[in-house]
Chains A and B, each alone.
Chain A
Amino acid sequence: MSTSMMECERTGRDAGLAAGLALTLRGTAVADIAPGRYAAVPDKDLPDGAAVRRHRLADGEGIVFLECPGERPADAEGLAGTGRLLAAVRLGLVRRTLDQAVEHLSDRLSGGEPLIRKQLITGAVADVMADVEMLREYATGQAEPVALADVHNRIDDLGWQVTKLFGAAGYLADSPGGALYVSALAANTWVPRTEVER
Chain B
Amino acid sequence: MIDFDARLRAVRDISRVAAEDLRGRALAIDADPDAMDAHLGSPWFTLFRQSDTPVEYRESIPGGVPLPDGLRMPDRRSCLENVVGFVETARGDAATVLACPCPGLAGVLVELLGSDAQRERFYTRLHGGRTWAFFAMTEAAHGSDAGAMESRFVSDGGGGWLLFGGKRFVGNGARGGVGVVFARTGRSALSVRAALVEVPVVGWSGRRLETVGLRGAALGELEFDGVPVSGEMMLGEHLPVTRRGLWGAVKTFNQVRLHVAAAAVGTAMAMAEYVGEHRKGAPGLSLALARTEAARELVYEAAALMDRDAQRGYLSSAAKLGATRMVVEVARWASGVMGPGGLLEHPLLEKWTRDAGAFEFMDGTGNVQRLHVARGYQAGDADGRS
Contacts and interface: CB of A to CB of B under 8 A. Distances in A.
A181 B354 CA distance: 8
A117 interface: no
B148 A109 contact: yes
A189 B283 contact: no
A109 B333 CA distance: 36
A86 to B, nearest CB: 12
B336 A193 contact: yes
A35 interface: yes
Nearest to A57: B212
Interface in B111-131: none
B42 interface: no
Given A120-B367, A120-B370, A189-B341, A198 B333 contact: yes
B336 A194 contact: yes
Interface string A104-140: 0000111100000000110000000000000000000
B197 to A, nearest CB: 22
Interface residues of B, number: 43
Interface string B315-348: 0000000000000110011011101111111000
B343 A185 contact: yes
A156 B341 contact: no
B210 interface: yes
B340 A171 contact: no
Interface in B129-155: 138, 140-145, 148
Contact of B357 (A55, A177, A193): A177
A39 interface: yes
A73 to B, nearest CB: 15
B212 A110 contact: no
Nearest to B330: A198
Contact of A36 (B341, B358, B360): B341
Given A38-B341, A38-B345, A178-B212, A156 B283 contact: no
Interface string A169-193: 1111110011001001100111111
A194 B339 contact: yes
Given A109-B148, A153-B332, A168-B138, A190 B361 contact: no
A25 to B, nearest CB: 15
A190 B336 contact: no
Contact of A157 (B213, B332, B367): B332
Interface in A25-40: 34-39
B328 A160 contact: yes
A108 B145 CA distance: 10
B144 A38 contact: no
B340 A197 contact: no
B284 interface: yes
Identify the interface centre among A120, A121, A160, A174: most chain B CB within 10 Å of its CB. Answer: A160
A46 interface: no
B189 interface: no
B98 interface: no
Contact of A37 (B144, B345, B370): B345
Identify the interface centre among A36, A171, A194: most chain B CB within 10 Å of its CB. Answer: A171
Contact of A171 (B148, B212, B336, B366): B212
B365 A164 contact: yes
Identify the interface centre among B212, B350, B357: most chain A CB within 10 Å of its CB. Answer: B212
B209 interface: yes
Given A171-B361, A177-B357, A188 B283 contact: no
6 contacts: A65-B344, A171-B357, A173-B211, A177-B357, A188-B341, A196-B336
Given A53-B344, A164-B366, A173-B210, 13 more contacts: A36-B342, A37-B344, A55-B344, A121-B367, A160-B357, A163-B357, A167-B361, A169-B140, A172-B210, A174-B210, A189-B340, A189-B344, A198-B333
